[in-house]
Amino acid sequence: MLELTPRDEVCTRKALRINPAKTCQPVGALYAALGVHGCMPHSHGSQGCASFHRMFLTRHFKEPAMASTSAFTEGASVFGGGANLTQACRNLFDTYDPEVIAVHTTCLSETIGDDLNAIVSAMDIPEGKHVVYCNTPSYVGSHITGYANMLAGFVRNLSDKPLVGGADGSGDSMSMDLGGQASSADRLKSRTGKKLALFAGFINPGDMREIKRIAEEFDIDYTLLPDTSGVMDAPMTGTYQLYPAGGTPVAAIQALGSAKLGLALGETAAGPGAVALSNKCGVPEKLLPLPMGVRLTDEYLMALSEFASDDVPQCLEEERGQLVDILVDAHPYLDGKTAAIFGDPDTIYGLSSAVLEMGMLPRYVLTTSPFPAITKKLMELFEEYGVADKCLVKDSADLFELHQLVIQDPVDVLIGTSFGKLIARAENIALVRAGFPIIDRYVHSYMPLVGYRGGMRLVEMIAGALMDSLDRNCAEEDFEMVM
């Protein structure tokens, strides 16, 4: 299949992307909406779009990804889909009784120029029900942009501003007055609310469970948005539940305006949610990378420790020590090995940091999403480790380019999504599956890659892949039973 990849040079291209390993904005918006309890995600476009978005998520999570559609036909495509959307919401509330409908646009409705704000404002929404919306034009950005837009959409549409004067016992007039002018630190001091608004990046339900577990070890009162645990990893009970038990409650999103701090884990995917909360309700925001590996998990724990004004719980100290011990144990098989890392921006940053801690070199780091800021951040990280001149970082890249790079200067292991298996097979390089989508394996979405426990799993997967390669390829006299 990849026989057309040039083997003698790396071709430069500007206009064409081949095997881009990213998908369209509504896929991210749909996933974010599934992380809200009682929510029906709604695709404002043609039926084919909705089918594709649902299929893409189902292939990764091995769970049904529910969504409805405005079902555009020729008429809506020419005259606009306002009537379709209004009728669809009426039918959904009548038939499926969701608490909230989360509408995202598609290429078609964006090209027509449907004004969601005007359409939703004119709707007759039943008492106690909600319709939230965001724009997800798929000809820009990627599924990460769509995910971020939907998070911001939930906040803009649902989160209530705190009552002026602190009458609700949480927000206060000072925080409102200071919004947009004072520093985050000043605004944090001025807030009397106790709750932590946690925004999750584009991660698996298993990761979300781990992020919550760590916050709970600190005994912190938090709301996680979105929370796909209990939805996209719901247990088999024998009874189909249209709205599984998991997901962030709508009431909790409404109350986010009174939070003390908005903490985003994953700057590109989760950051816009925290920024929207800051803009609307004056809640100070703090943006952190996904907590992968030792150092980035430390950052998450330090933020929680500062928020709770408490020490790090002993059990988490122990987990950190275990991860460091494992890193030392596996060091002989990891040190100096090279990796090609590809996937979503927040994920490749977290993976690169973890791989550097293992003593490995992230030789190529590519995201197929258009986020130039991440390349700058990655180069800063590599400069800190003194390896910047040995690493190539690119955004808006594709796997056709990565294949050519790997042919010219091979690496020991590929770390990324299932799309990398073509390169892995063609060049006989081990592939460690991490990120989205993984459509050719099971269980991955249940097992965290974040936190110290996630770090242990990363070492297990990466060291295991390298040691398997060694077993397969070493000379007879070097073959070892005990490693």
Q: What are the residues binding ligand SF4 (CB under 6 A)?
A: 24, 26, 45, 49, 52, 106-107, 138
Residue 162 CA to residue 152 CA, distance in Å, equals 18
Least distance (Å) between residue 144 CB and ligand SF4: 14
Q: Which is nearer to ligand SF4, 26 or 262 (CB)?
A: 26
* Per-residue buried b or exposed e for 384-407, using 16+ beta carbons within 10 Å of the residue's own CB: eeeeeeebbbbbbbbbbbbbbbbb
By C-beta, is 249 or 370 nearer to ligand SF4?
A: 370
Q: How far is the CB of 54 from ligand SF4 (least distance, A)?
A: 11
Query: What is the closest distance, in whole angstroms, from the C-beta atom of residue 50 to ligand SF4 in the complex?
Result: 8
Min dist CB 49 to ligand SF4, Å, is: 3
Q: How far is the CB of 56 from ligand SF4 (least distance, A)?
A: 9
Q: Please, what is the minimum distance in Å from the beta carbon of residue 286 to ligand SF4? A: 32
User: Is the Cβ of residue 27 or residue 340 nearer to ligand SF4 in the bound state?
Assistant: 27
The CB-of-43 to ligand SF4 minimum distance in angstroms stands at 8
Q: Which is nearer to ligand SF4, 45 or 162 (CB)?
A: 45
Q: Pick the closer one to ligand SF4 by CB: 28 or 271.
A: 28
Name which of 70 and 138 has its Cβ closer to ligand SF4. 138
Of 107 and 308, the one with the shorter C-beta distance to ligand SF4 is 107
Compute the least distance from the CB of residue 275 to ligand SF4, in Å: 25
Smaller CB separation from ligand SF4, 70 or 106: 106
